[in-house]
Structure 1
Amino acid sequence: MSETTWFIIAIVIYMAAMLAIGFWSYRKTTKYDDYVLADRGLHPFVAALSAGASDMSGWLLMGLPGALFVTGMSELWIGIGLLVGAWANWTWVAPRLRAYTEVANNSITLPSFFENRLRDKSRSLRSISAVIIIFFFTFYVSSGMVAGGRYFESTFGGEYLIGLGVVGAITVIYTFVGGFLAVSYTDVVQGLMMFTALIIVPVMALIALDNPSDIFTWATENAYGPYEAGNPTYWSMISGVSLAAIIGNLAWGLGYFGQPHVVVRFMALRTSADAKQGRLIGISWMFLCIVGATATAIIGTVFFSQNPDISITDQSAFETIFLDMARILFHPLIAGLVLTAVLAAIMSTMSSQLLVVSSSLIEDLYKIFKKDLPSEKFLINLSRIMVVIVALIAAALAINPNDSILGLVGFAWAGFGSAFGPLMLASLYWKRLNFAGALSSMIVGALVSTGWGMLGGGDIIYELVPGFLASTLVLIGVTLATSSPQPEITEEFDEAVRLSKAAEENPELEISETKEKI
């Protein structure tokens, strides 16, 4: 059989498994809260891998190796920033958010939590945050569509648009059918696939080299990729890199606090105490995956240079280095299974984002303007329709991509981090926070981040830095300049803190049981 046939067999096996999980989840999804948040019953292992897989996306297997291959180790600051940010998110946000969202009128989306946390009767916090989520996630989902199209170009030499359509369609189907449970469990499978592939591919490539020790000198002394005479600063994390660039790359970690598709996993945990185990699993997975992506780029500088018969498909951003390496190294069936890890990364992120957007459209826009709420079944079906509509809009944006995968992801990541990051931390740790400070912070963060990027400020420093800073300053300034929150708000804050601590001391208790103990 031809290489393409073997690849198709591998992908069909993978797609069938994803659809099977989707339809299994369908049978367990009977309520609207099940579809949106799996009824708050997520095991920490599932939550950890689901958060990691939905977070990393095609960026981990395509964007990061490509950036490291072209520029060198200075791009590693992004990985360091993300690793520290993910650890901080699991440590500071996860346990308290799990408790607080249930205390605050059982909030099942981020916008509903902000509204309930601050008793916003105007509904502006909820509706504006929902609009921000829909706007930025449309670009985020679009980046997944772009990655899917490029995947098919590299793997099959096929049409970009066909790849975009196939990846988008399968992702929509299992998200449409199974909701949050399907998204979470497919993420576990996809996370394990990503981890395995990122370990196997660079190890096998290293073994295939004539002289493995060349990886330490080749990039600086020989022609490879875009360099005709090597890249002398390849191994340096600071040479030729401005302080602003380093700060900007590290600042990616700040974005974690405001990513709706990540923090929703914290809200779905069984108890606050599960966050500790989730952190250990999630950060270990993430660290090893980043090591694998880095090794892929380093080894790739030699691997593709020593044999003139092989080349990287993407000769612009070199974001197909992992795909091409796997295709060359393994038997077509094994290579096909390894390459599905990229599909896994792409689809895990897209599915999470589609579900969050759908939830915001229904829970945070439709339900607040609809006086007489329809049945649970109607709400679930309406959410499914929204999944399809958002996917179609994202696909339209991806038809003629004018930015790299990393660029699209970076734009959305900065927008969420700036709009929601400072507000998230203040909501969980600052009793004095009030409605005026929260709303001002969210709007300013989104506008500054977007404006900075669109006006070219990203060439100076990553837009998340000015966006997060402006959002923080406005939050503090406006909050202190306006009236204190009502007593019931501060009392609920104290209750959430007590419940979070009590749940950590009694891991076996549910939040409702913990409330009875206090």
Structure 2
Amino acid sequence: MNDDLYQLIAIILYMALMLLIGWYAFRQTSNLTDYMLGGRSLGPAVTALSAGAADMSGWLLMGLPGAIYAKGLVGAWIAIGLTVGAYLNWLLVAPRLRVYTQVSNDSITIPSFLENRLKDKSRLLRIASGIIILVFFTFYVSSGMVAGGKFFLSSFGLSYHAGVLIVSAVVIAYTLFGGFLAVSYTDAVQGFIMFFALILVPIVGVFITGGLSETAATIREVNPQLLNLVSGATFFGILSSVAWGLGYFGQPHIIVRFMAISSVKETKSARRIGIGWMFLSLAGAIATALVGIAYYRQNPGATLVDSETVFIALGQIIFHPFIAGIMLAAVLAAVMSTISSQLIVTSSALIEDLYKAIYKSDASDQQYVFLGRMAVLIVSIVALILAWPNKESILKLVSFAWAGFGGAFGPIILLSLYWNKITAKGALWGMVAGAVTVGVWGNIKVLTDNLYEIVPGFLVCLVVTYLVSLATYRPDPEIEREFNETMELLEKERS
């Protein structure tokens, strides 16, 4: 049996497991809340691992190791920013969002929560939020399909289009039928596979390169500055990297997990599991790159064509082909977990936030679940069409979309949870101002070269939301009642 066949068997088994989980979740889904939010029944481990897997995508196993391999530890600032941002997201947003979304008319999406929380009768806030999510996530999903196509092209020599179709078919199948539960359960399994791979590769790799001291010495032979956290860094460069952490507060596919956890008490356990997973996974990705630098220095006959494939290359060198296949499955898991999470959030935006907001329909829950599945299919087809030409520009939208969501939604989510004087007009103007700032800044090269667009976008959204809210604030007994009820329930559930 040749090496490729062993690896292909591992990939097939992984995909079969994803489909099996999707079938199980399909059996557990009976209404729209089940389909869009898993019936608010997720345990802490599933919540934490699914949030992490949905967050990290292929960047964790390819992008980050590639950056560290090329630049050294100076590339780790983005990992530091993301870890701090994720921790603060779990600490500040998770408990309050879990309670507030239930108190405020049992909201099951971020746009519906903002409308219910701020009592927006115009529906403009909900529609604008839904459109932003729909547009950005369609391109986000497309970029994941592109990554999947390239994965099969580089790993098995399949055509790019065959790879896109395989990844798309499996993800669409389990998301379409199983909904949020399928996405969360598969993400949790995918998160475990990613964790296992990122711990195993650098640990075994260090033994091959002669132990910790020999590995470090070899890296210093290549370039002593590779182990320096600030070598070649500028203040604004570090600020831009750390500022990625600001994006967490506004990422719908991540914070929706906080709405689905079974109780506020579970958020503390989920936070510990999630941040532990994240810290060790990021450390494993960084260590993988450093081991790769040492390995290729010690073995000049071996060549690495693309620094972003260092994780895949080391896995294939170090392990038996079947285990290497599991390493490949980890990369695929990172890509697929993000696609599925974004698909379900985009589906909810299309049905819950646009269709139901524009059309006063009295359809049954079963009909809405059917419409949700059709929305997944429609968005997938559009994303597939965008991915088909294999344009690099689509992949570049990932960092732009992260900034867009962080700048448009982040300050509004925080203010809506912590400030009872935020208004619907303030949130709408702040959202638009933040999104426009990111859009303009992100398309002017001289600006983006110096500062990541999420920083001005976040600040502009925060200031505009605050000032417009102060100017338009009028006391609303219902808003006050819900705010106070949320605070009381928080204290009660924490005690």
TM-score after normalising by structure 1? 0.92
Partners of 2:394 and 2:60 in 1: CA distance: 13
Partners of 1:411 and 1:436 in 2: CA distance: 25
Partners of 1:254 and 1:168 in 2: CA distance: 30
Partners of 2:95 and 2:113 in 1: CA distance: 15
Decide which moves more: 413-422 or 201-210.
201-210
* Partner secondary structure for residue 105 of structure 1: coil
CA positional deviation for 1:413? 1.0
Partners of 1:150 and 1:218 in 2: CA distance: 32
CA contact (8 A) 2:150 2:160 kept: yes
Q: Which structure shows the bigger proportion of residues in helix conformation? A: 2
Match of 2:437 among 427, 432, 448: 448
Match of 1:463 among 441, 449, 453: 453
What is aligned with 2:320? Answer: 331
Q: Does 1:234 align with 2:234?
A: no
What is aligned with 1:510? Answer: none
Partners of 2:203 and 2:90 in 1: CA distance: 30
Are the structure 2 counterparts of residues 425 and 217 from structure 1 closer, same or farther at C-alpha, using a change threshold of 3 Å? same
* Partner secondary structure for residue 167 of structure 1: helix
Partners of 2:477 and 2:486 in 1: CA distance: 14
Partners of 1:7 and 1:148 in 2: CA distance: 16
Decide which moves more: 200-209 or 184-193.
200-209
What is aligned with 2:95? Answer: 95
Partners of 1:162 and 1:33 in 2: CA distance: 35
Residues 67-92 of structure 1, C-alpha deviation per residue, up to 9 Å, x if partnerless?
Answer: 11112212211111111111111111
What is aligned with 2:80? Answer: 80
Letter in 1 for 2:166: V
CA positional deviation for 1:313? 4.2
CA positional deviation for 1:487? 2.3
Equivalences for residues 156-195 of structure 1 within 5 A:
156-195=156-195
Gaps of 5+ in 1: 223-229, 506-518
Are the structure 2 counterparts of residues 429 and 453 from structure 1 closer, same or farther at C-alpha, using a change threshold of 3 Å? same
Q: Does 1:425 align with 2:409?
A: no
Q: Does 1:361 align with 2:350?
A: yes
CA contact (8 A) 1:444 1:471 kept: yes
What is aligned with 1:290? Answer: 282
CA contact (8 A) 1:433 1:485 kept: no
Residues 9-61 of structure 1, C-alpha deviation per residue, up to 9 Å, x if partnerless?
Answer: 11110011000000011111111111001111111111111111111111111
Equivalences for residues 7-22 of structure 1 within 5 A:
7-22=7-22
Letter in 1 for 2:270: G
Are the structure 2 counterparts of residues 31 and 493 from structure 1 closer, same or farther at C-alpha, using a change threshold of 3 Å? same
TM-score after normalising by structure 2? 0.96
Identity of aligned residues (%): 52
CA positional deviation for 1:307? 2.5
CA contact (8 A) 1:155 1:324 kept: no
CA contact (8 A) 2:43 2:262 kept: yes
Letter in 2 for 1:246: I
Equivalences for residues 27-66 of structure 1 within 5 A:
27-66=27-66
Equivalences for residues 238-257 of structure 1 within 5 A:
238-257=230-249
Partners of 2:464 and 2:146 in 1: CA distance: 35
Decide which moves more: 4-13 or 114-123.
4-13
* Partner secondary structure for residue 149 of structure 2: helix
CA positional deviation for 1:234? 2.0
CA positional deviation for 1:502? 1.1
Partners of 1:436 and 1:209 in 2: CA distance: 59
Partners of 1:450 and 1:73 in 2: CA distance: 30
Q: Does 1:306 align with 2:298?
A: yes
* Partner secondary structure for residue 326 of structure 1: helix
CA positional deviation for 1:432? 0.9
Q: Does 1:501 align with 2:491?
A: yes
Letter in 1 for 2:487: V
CA positional deviation for 1:163? 1.7
Partners of 1:169 and 1:309 in 2: CA distance: 39
CA contact (8 A) 2:218 2:297 kept: no
CA contact (8 A) 1:434 1:485 kept: no
Partners of 1:306 and 1:96 in 2: CA distance: 52
Residues 408-433 of structure 1, C-alpha deviation per residue, up to 9 Å, x if partnerless?
Answer: 43111111111110000000000111
Letter in 2 for 1:158: L
What is aligned with 1:148? Answer: 148
Equivalences for residues 99-138 of structure 1 within 5 A:
99-138=99-138
Letter in 2 for 1:24: Y
CA contact (8 A) 2:209 2:215 kept: no
Partners of 2:215 and 2:362 in 1: CA distance: 62
Partners of 1:394 and 1:246 in 2: CA distance: 33
> Aligned-residue CA RMSD in angstroms?
1.6
Partners of 1:108 and 1:481 in 2: CA distance: 30
CA positional deviation for 1:403? 4.6
Partners of 1:243 and 1:215 in 2: CA distance: 30
Equivalences for residues 316-355 of structure 1 within 5 A:
318-355=307-344
Partners of 2:423 and 2:32 in 1: CA distance: 30
What is aligned with 2:250? Answer: 258
Residues 219-254 of structure 1, C-alpha deviation per residue, up to 9 Å, x if partnerless?
Answer: 4543xxxxxxx5x53222223211111111111111
CA positional deviation for 1:203? 1.4
Partners of 1:97 and 1:179 in 2: CA distance: 21
Gaps of 5+ in 2: none
Residues 190-226 of structure 1, C-alpha deviation per residue, up to 9 Å, x if partnerless?
Answer: 111000000111112222225753432444543xxxx
Decide which moves more: 110-119 or 207-216.
207-216
Residues 353-391 of structure 1, C-alpha deviation per residue, up to 9 Å, x if partnerless?
Answer: 000000000000001122233222221122112212222
Letter in 2 for 1:62: M
* Partner secondary structure for residue 233 of structure 1: helix
CA contact (8 A) 1:433 1:484 kept: no
Equivalences for residues 407-426 of structure 1 within 5 A:
407-426=396-415
CA positional deviation for 1:404? 8.7
CA contact (8 A) 1:452 1:463 kept: yes
Partners of 1:66 and 1:147 in 2: CA distance: 15
CA positional deviation for 1:479? 1.2
Letter in 2 for 1:331: H
Aligned length: 493
* Partner secondary structure for residue 61 of structure 1: coil
Residues 126-172 of structure 1, C-alpha deviation per residue, up to 9 Å, x if partnerless?
Answer: 00001111122123222322321232233213322222221121111
* Partner secondary structure for residue 310 of structure 1: coil
Q: Does 1:472 align with 2:456?
A: no
Are the structure 2 counterparts of residues 477 and 185 from structure 1 closer, same or farther at C-alpha, using a change threshold of 3 Å? same
Partners of 2:196 and 2:118 in 1: CA distance: 44
Decide which moves more: 494-503 or 133-142.
133-142
Partners of 1:329 and 1:52 in 2: CA distance: 26
Partners of 1:161 and 1:394 in 2: CA distance: 13
CA contact (8 A) 1:23 1:174 kept: yes
Letter in 2 for 1:459: D
Are the structure 2 counterparts of residues 13 and 313 from structure 1 closer, same or farther at C-alpha, using a change threshold of 3 Å? farther
CA contact (8 A) 2:47 2:261 kept: yes
